[in-house]
Amino acid sequence: MFRTLAIAKRIFKQILRDRRSFAMIFVVPLVVMSLVGVSFNKNQPLLNFVGPALICTFVLFFTFILTGISFLRERSEGTLDRLLTTPIRRIDIILGYSISFFIFALIQSSIIITFSIFVLDIAYEGQILHMFLVVILLSIVAVNFGVFVSTFAKNEFQVVQFIPLFIIPQIFLAGVIQPVGNLPDILQYVSNILPLTYAVEGLRSIMIEGSNIQIIRKEIIVLLAFASLFVTLATLSVKR
């Protein structure tokens, strides 16, 4: 555990020194959410409906980009290779990276939710704490998904190329644009294996219907399963 935390601490400091990562964490979410507010300023009821889905989508997208590119830099600079030559277990290395990335993902998520509720005035019926729980679980999924995918990329451009393959389809199939029930049957089956689907359903249920954790326990369990799956895949994909 000490080695894991030491890795996380080093990555945390390194990302803070990188201006691009700093902008991605603190500035870009504010700019994007401001554009959302301007776009929906004359249609608040529609914003209240699509708001939960947009929050989940932005959390998934920004966290994936930040994690994927940051982890790729670690590989490109040889830092990861040096760690792999030490007696430290692969799972400890991945957890160290994941913890540091998750801290920044949590900051991003907090900015997005806070801005959505208190600036854009998106209505919500459930508890804010429950909203954060869903978004945090989605962040964990996105962090480990980003680590896993970045192991197959050779440069930052290739990380970005994964977006049309892994992120954009989820936007169309996870109920962000239209309810999943309106999709063709075969696409509804595909939707059932996408993490964004369960995050959108869970957050929308909390914010619009006032549901609690007990009611959305299925979505919580599925997101936890996805998080565990991607931690395992990320660990296995890192070769010594």
* pTM score of the predicted model: 0.90
- Which helix H or strand E contains 148, and what residues bound it? helix 128-150
Are 47 and 208 spatial neighbours (Cβ–Cβ below 8 Å)?
no
> HSE on the CB side for 14, CA within 13 Å?
17
pLDDT tens digits for 137-150? 999 999 889 888 88
- Give the 3-state secondary structure percentages of the chain, helix then strand then coil, rounded to 5: 80, 0, 20
pLDDT top residue among 156 and 124: 124
> HSE on the CB side for 11, CA within 13 Å?
31
Task: Judge whether residue 240 has pLDDT over 60.
Answer: no
Angle, CA 71 vertex, CA 67 and CA 74 arms, to 5°: 150
What lies within 8 Å, CB to CB, of 72 at 6+ separation is 150, 153, 155, 156, 159
pLDDT value, residue 141: 93
pLDDT tens digits for 79-129? 777 777 777 787 887 888 888 888 888 898 899 999 999 999 999 999 999
DSSP string, 70-89: HHHHHHHTTHHHHHHTSS--
pLDDT value, residue 26: 85
- Per-residue pLDDT averaged across 155-184, rounded? 87
pLDDT value, residue 1: 65
Question: Would you state the structure tokens that stand for residue 95, as one six-digit string?
Answer: 């957890």
**Percent of the chain scoring above 70 in pLDDT:** 99
Task: Judge whether residue 210 has pLDDT over 90.
Answer: yes
Are 231 and 96 spatial neighbours (Cβ–Cβ below 8 Å)?
no
Q: How confident is the model at residue 235 (pLDDT cuts 50, 70, 90)?
A: confident
pLDDT value, residue 184: 93
Are 178 and 140 spatial neighbours (Cβ–Cβ below 8 Å)?
no
Task: Judge whether residue 195 has pLDDT over 90.
Answer: yes
Domain ranges of the chain: 2-237
CA 211 to chain CA centroid, nearest Å: 22
